[in-house]
Structure 1
Amino acid sequence: MAEEFVNWSGSIRFTPSDRAQPKNTREVTRLVTGARKASRTLRPVGSGHSSQPVFNTGDTLVSLDSMNGVADADPEKHRARVLPGTGLHQLGRQLAKHGLAMENLGDVDYQTIAGAIGTATHGTGIALGNLSSTLIGGRLVNGLGEEVAFGVDAGEDREHDLLRAAQVSLGSLGILTSLTLRLEESYELHRQNWITHIDWVLENFAELIETNRSVDFYWYPRSDLAQVRMLNKPGEEPDLVPEGRLKEDRTGPSYEIIPNDRHLHFEEMEYMLPLDTQLEAFRQVRERVKTRHRATVGWRVLVRTIAPDRAMLSNAQTRPTMTIALLQNNTLAFQQYFDDLEPLFRRFGGRPHWGKKHSLKGAELYLEWGTFQRIRREMDPGGVFMNDYLRELFAETGE
């Protein structure tokens, strides 16, 4: 048996029978072919930042840490081919050497690029999609041990079904060996963090999201204050600024300015809801937290926005989206808190973040769930990449 694996927050622990760390596509192919012949399974893992058991396995856990870096870049076409184990923290600097940058990043940058894309990690901004929407092509090794190109790498357009399935796949189609990303020219951002009262945010949310490139806010349940984070290219800042105290004001490369530094680990539940500038869902969350959970909630509630996209399992598919995330220090109880709020998110048409705590089982909220499952079975007919969690999620009891 290999050593125990523990995820970033500490809530998931398991011991695989073996660990593998392939260095190239040939070694990935050998792993898949061997697992298929032995009727065993493989699960890829990135940084382990997910708090859902997407990577759990009693067989072989596959780390792609040795497959990292920018393989090639095309600044004129604003794209680059990136290897799957590249950490987001390192990727920003590597792309900058080619004059390129991701159009957006998430709240943290601990993840690998393949893990972040596979679970639809996102940042904030009504005109900015999640990270998965920037995947325009790539290659993967499917469950038959075949290397398959998709998207621009296969000469296909961005509406091709395999690309839209691969953009958010939870590692269920195969092991990614390269990712071709749509990028921007390198740019700087001016970040301002304001402390204000939550009532000011509720009154001004519509204008905030329209006038800032990126904006989000934390609500602090015990004080009823909020922290509003505004990110804009220098010289493009809006006139509207929050009433209150300026906590942070700095400018730098986008990959340094967007992510937050998280020394404390936490558990999180996040749901993606249809965009509502009146914030009715948040208002109900706020009321319930104040009524039932204020004494035990140690962290804050985070609200962000995402542009719509076309990925089959994207939680922002086809609709402008707002997100509400419940954060709780990982040393404190979280299950009762999350369980109480999750039905409220679902009543508002919420879709869960695949990498965060949730209890969704099945296809109620995804328009192309059936198409995705057909593609997944074609790519992995023997269930090489399945685990108990994915079997339950996909309702595949026979694999």
Structure 2
Amino acid sequence: MDTTRNFTNWSGSVSCVPEAWHYPADEVDVARLVRQARSGGQALRPLGSGHSSSALVATDGALVSLDRLSGVVSTDPHRGLATVLPGTGLADLGSALAEAGLGLENFGDVDYQAIAGAIATGTHGTGRDLGNLSSMLVGGRLVSGTGEVVRFGTESDDSDSDDSLLRAVQVSLGSLGFLTSLTLQVRPAYELRRTNWMTHIDWVLEHYAELVASNRNMDFYWYPRSDLAQVRMLNEPGQEPDLLPPGRLKRDETGPSYEIIPNRREIPFEEMEYMIPLDTGLEAFRQVRQRVRERHRDRVGWRVLVRTIAPDRGMLSTANGRPTMTIALLHNATLPYRDYFSDMEPLLRGFEGRPHWGKKHSATAERLAPLYPEWEEFGRWRRELDPDGVFLNDHLRALLIGTPSSPSASAAEIWKER
């Protein structure tokens, strides 16, 4: 146990002073910590890489790092399954699976996160037919708020409740328990060719539907000050589309999928991202573009990132039940972002937008509940697995219950600038 460290997230905008840090070595250690915390009335929060820019981790209780629970436990190429430990970094996971001839179906924009944190927050990449990372979770084990080990999905013997519990765990925000083992659906290892093109945003909008349909992975950055866009297309070699953007080819490389999909992000940034129904997403982007040009262009030098996600069944997945376009506003972490994000957020909400759980937003339970058809079912699982609220902090109370004990630590904390 460590009682000397404070916590600050990757971008520098979220910090807390936990009363203790714990570094369990295995599932037995995790269960013991939870039982002790429950009996002593202490809160626990799981800590991955600290990449989220929302206050999911912030606590004055104890932080529990799962870094020591890392690695690939087993692989089953015939069934397309891999069992991994929660603290495994995505970059390490990609290379470890490749050694077994396997790969993840997709990655997010970066690979700095631990797998459990990426899944718990609904981290996603891009691709009309590709789900977010949480949709790859098909089973595993978690330690509940009572200190019991609960099996779910492919690891469960209870076929009656299995599917419901799995779908609750897929995006849980760390509120159901500590994941101690994750079974992922994987595929044979594969290569991708990436081509990045610089072109004008008007061409992208005119050809957007065809770009989405003809590429395995496609997204674009819009640069507000130049009105240019960077179109990023990734396809298995030999399956590249005929449609190519007019303009400059900025990048062309081929390699293992786990090396080609993620990008390097050396400069910390703040981000707000909303998930919009795909059929109205383009109109939402057009309105974002207009508002940024009218109100924020002189102060916003960073970009707007647009991606797609396939629908899934995770109860709190931001792609639950609908093909999705994501619109992310990125801003240098050293610059003020509050006015920009708070002005843009109502516009994105107006398109039935669901905020990314791990990024900046000000939504609370009252606004979120109508957006998720199985909101109440998720709440039932949370109360069953964590009856004493061991895994709650003020931010999660605001998100999931709507009764934050301290406004400064809930919605308002999200907008705290560096």
Post-superposition CA distance 1:343-372 (Å, at most 9, x none): 011111100100000011111211111110
Partner in structure 2 of residue 228 of structure 1: 231
**Structure 1 residues 58 and 278 mapped into 2: Cα distance closer, same or farther (>3 Å)?**
closer
Which of the numbers 385, 395, 398 marks the counterpart of 2:401?
395
Partner in structure 1 of residue 414 of structure 2: none
Shift of 1:397: 4.0
**Alignment map for 1:171-210 (pairs within 5 Å):** 171-210=174-213
**Alignment map for 1:67-106 (pairs within 5 Å):** 67-106=69-108
**Structure 1 residues 385 and 325 mapped into 2: Cα distance closer, same or farther (>3 Å)?**
same
Q: Tell whether the 8 Å contact from 1:121 to 1:131 is kept in structure 2 after alignment.
A: yes
Q: Tell whether the 8 Å contact from 1:206 to 1:278 is kept in structure 2 after alignment.
A: no
Are 2:375 and 1:372 aligned?
no
Partner in structure 1 of residue 270 of structure 2: 267
Post-superposition CA distance 1:86-123 (Å, at most 9, x none): 00011100001111101000001110000000000000
Partner in structure 2 of residue 138 of structure 1: 140
Separation in structure 1 between the aligned mates of residue 331 and residue 278 of structure 2, nearest angstrom: 24
Shift of 1:302: 0.3
**Structure 1 residues 156 and 254 mapped into 2: Cα distance closer, same or farther (>3 Å)?**
farther
Partner in structure 2 of residue 307 of structure 1: 310
Partner in structure 1 of residue 40 of structure 2: 38
Equivalent residue letter for 1:92: G
Separation in structure 2 between the aligned mates of residue 281 and residue 51 of structure 1, nearest angstrom: 23
Partner in structure 2 of residue 60 of structure 1: 62
Partner in structure 2 of residue 19 of structure 1: 21
Q: Tell whether the 8 Å contact from 2:281 to 2:325 is kept in structure 1 after alignment.
A: no
Tell me the TM-score normalised to structure 1 length.
0.98
Q: Tell whether the 8 Å contact from 1:105 to 1:258 is kept in structure 2 after alignment.
A: yes
Equivalent residue letter for 2:390: V
Q: Tell whether the 8 Å contact from 2:125 to 2:132 is kept in structure 1 after alignment.
A: yes
Separation in structure 2 between the aligned mates of residue 91 and residue 162 of structure 1, nearest angstrom: 25
Separation in structure 2 between the aligned mates of residue 227 and residue 181 of structure 1, nearest angstrom: 32
Tell me the TM-score normalised to structure 2 length.
0.94
Are 2:333 and 1:360 aligned?
no
Are 2:168 and 1:165 aligned?
yes
Shift of 1:50: 0.4
Q: Tell whether the 8 Å contact from 1:7 to 1:49 is kept in structure 2 after alignment.
A: yes
**Structure 1 residues 390 and 278 mapped into 2: Cα distance closer, same or farther (>3 Å)?**
closer
SS in 2 for 1:333: coil
Q: Tell whether the 8 Å contact from 1:306 to 1:316 is kept in structure 2 after alignment.
A: yes
Separation in structure 2 between the aligned mates of residue 397 and residue 344 of structure 1, nearest angstrom: 25
Structure 1, unmatched stretches of 5+, are none
Are 2:130 and 1:124 aligned?
no
Structure 2, unmatched stretches of 5+, are 406-418
Q: Tell whether the 8 Å contact from 2:276 to 2:326 is kept in structure 1 after alignment.
A: yes
| Aligned Cα root-mean-square deviation (Å) | 1.3
Equivalent residue letter for 2:96: Q
SS in 2 for 1:269: strand
Separation in structure 2 between the aligned mates of residue 278 and residue 151 of structure 1, nearest angstrom: 33
Shift of 1:57: 1.0
SS in 1 for 2:311: coil
Equivalent residue letter for 1:48: G
Equivalent residue letter for 1:312: M
SS in 2 for 1:111: coil
**Structure 1 residues 97 and 155 mapped into 2: Cα distance closer, same or farther (>3 Å)?**
farther
Aligned residues: 399
Shift of 1:278: 7.2
**Structure 1 residues 282 and 397 mapped into 2: Cα distance closer, same or farther (>3 Å)?**
closer
Partner in structure 1 of residue 333 of structure 2: 330
Equivalent residue letter for 2:258: Y
**Structure 1 residues 205 and 42 mapped into 2: Cα distance closer, same or farther (>3 Å)?**
same
Separation in structure 2 between the aligned mates of residue 117 and residue 243 of structure 1, nearest angstrom: 37
Equivalent residue letter for 2:217: S
Equivalent residue letter for 2:262: P
Separation in structure 2 between the aligned mates of residue 269 and residue 282 of structure 1, nearest angstrom: 14
Are 2:289 and 1:283 aligned?
no
Are 2:389 and 1:383 aligned?
yes
Are 2:249 and 1:249 aligned?
no
